[in-house]
Structure 1
Amino acid sequence: MSILQYARKRHSTKAFDPTRKIPGEKIAELREVLRLAPSSVNSQPWHFILASTEDGKARIAKAAQGNYAYNAAKILNASHVLVLATRTEITDTHLNAILTREDEDGRFINADAKAATNGSRLSYSNLHRYDLKDAQHWMEKQVYLALGTALLGASALGIDAVPMEGFDAKILDSELGLREKGFSSTVLVGLGYSGVEDFNAKLPKSRLADAAIFTDI
């Protein structure tokens, strides 16, 4: 199928079939798709936690209490649950690690190219760290690029998915020890296969018309 067909067939899964598990080879592909997600100046300000066990999903479901209880079944019945976490700060250690990896991967034809890339990344990160003072917001934007990549990738792999913002990040951060590691949970993705109670699978997709959202110049 074309990418357009995958975009048309994906939907936010409202109920998963708890008896169906995603094959390991498909999870491996999805992990690689997510690893290759784009980010501004290749900043990669994220960490991903993937729960595949009942215990792992139960730990994540602790954050779906009270006003967020409607998401508990999605978490517990999914085959896998992905937590996308954002760095709590842009550190020089992280930026240097990216530069080192780019060098190892052959991204630079010479020292000048390496210096230019480093300078560009520092320019943007310092803009958000020190001038605009919106580094957390900027990094979360990058995590949502990864989210979109994961959702379309899942559809291409025949995996149903649902993004979830309805959870208590403070509870989840504590349960997974994220803040001590310099991260905070931003969004969840349930992964698996649509169940019989997934009413959204039967509904037509609805979006605003082309003319309403595009301006050609």
Structure 2
Amino acid sequence: MMNIAEIALTRHATKAFDPTRKIPADVVNQIETLLRFGPSSTNSQPWHFFIAESDEGKARIAQAVQGTYSSNDPKIRNASHVVVFCTRATLDDAHLSALLDQETSDGRLRSDESRANYHRTRSFYVDMHRFERRDVQHWMEKQVYLAVGTLLLGAGALGIDACPIEGFDQIVLDEVLGLHERGLVSSVIVALGYRSGEDFNAQLPKSRLPAEAVITRL
């Protein structure tokens, strides 16, 4: 049985990647599955993922990590693959209809009644965040970060090193990838690959607050 706690104890944010090592295609397929099947509130899936493998693709993303963020440039260029996590700009009716159609096609909604009930429940939460709390963008991005967590732990289980990157120029990245035209905004980048000998973070012990400081048992 896999020791998931051991993976949590040993994975870390990789600070330097070996540019000569590439993630095998079958493992990349598993990573794509992790992304697609991550959890989201009401199965809203308010995301899109750009995956760069080629030098050209990674160079496009690296345009957003210049100047203030230049320390992240080699992480992106030397990684095997780079994932840009994007959040939808809105949860519009077209997206909600597409979700219902896919759930019906996949056999989750097996009757008109179950389809109507699920649509009503999901719309209740979407409209609550749209109109009452007025935080729908923040709510959607929370779901995207669930996908980030799924990827980071899953990558560790696959023996892949990873580094989440929030230090980038969102305006530049959105323009480079043409995100606004697609109704998207960039949220976070994750570089994936294999650590190099220059990854100082691999040699440092992990540090977390003690259990009693962050866990209360009721």
TM-score > 0.5 by shorter chain: yes
Say yes or no: does 1:194 pair with 2:189. no
Say yes or no: does 1:80 pair with 2:120. no
Q: Distance in 2 between matches of 1:52 and 1:102?
A: 31
Alignment-derived partner of residue 209 in structure 1: 210
Say yes or no: does 1:182 pair with 2:162. no
Task: Report the alpha carbon displacement of residue 114 of structure 1 after superposing the two structures with TM.
Answer: 1.4
Say yes or no: does 1:59 pair with 2:60. yes
- CA root-mean-square deviation: 0.8
- The superposition leaves residues 126-160 of structure 1 with CA deviations (integer Å, 9 ceiling, x where unpaired) of 11111111111000000000000010111111100
Higher mean C-alpha deviation, range 102-111 or range 116-125: 102-111
Ranges of 4+ aligned residues in structure 1 off by more than 6 Å: none
Q: Distance in 1 between matches of 2:139 and 2:80?
A: 31
Query: TM-score scaled by structure 2?
Result: 0.98
Aligned pairs, how many?
217
SS at match of 1:197: coil
Query: TM-score scaled by structure 1?
Result: 0.98
Alignment-derived partner of residue 37 in structure 1: 38
Higher mean C-alpha deviation, range 126-135 or range 142-151: 126-135
SS at match of 1:17: coil
Task: Report the alpha carbon displacement of residue 111 of structure 1 after superposing the two structures with TM.
Answer: 2.1
Alignment-derived partner of residue 111 in structure 1: 112
SS at match of 1:85: strand
Task: Report the alpha carbon displacement of residue 197 of structure 1 after superposing the two structures with TM.
Answer: 0.7
Flag structure 1 segments of 5+ consecutive residues without an equivalent.
Answer: none
Say yes or no: does 1:159 pair with 2:185. no
Task: Report the alpha carbon displacement of residue 11 of structure 1 after superposing the two structures with TM.
Answer: 0.3
1:45 partner letter: P
1:184 partner letter: V
The 8 Å contact of residues 104 and 110 in structure 2, kept in 1 or not, is answered as: no
SS at match of 1:106: coil
Alignment-derived partner of residue 25 in structure 2: 24
Task: Report the alpha carbon displacement of residue 108 of structure 1 after superposing the two structures with TM.
Answer: 2.0
Task: Report the alpha carbon displacement of residue 71 of structure 1 after superposing the two structures with TM.
Answer: 0.4
Alignment-derived partner of residue 7 in structure 1: 8
Say yes or no: does 1:170 pair with 2:189. no
> Identity percentage over the alignment?
55
- The superposition leaves residues 56-115 of structure 1 with CA deviations (integer Å, 9 ceiling, x where unpaired) of 000000000111111001000000000000001111000110011000111124222211
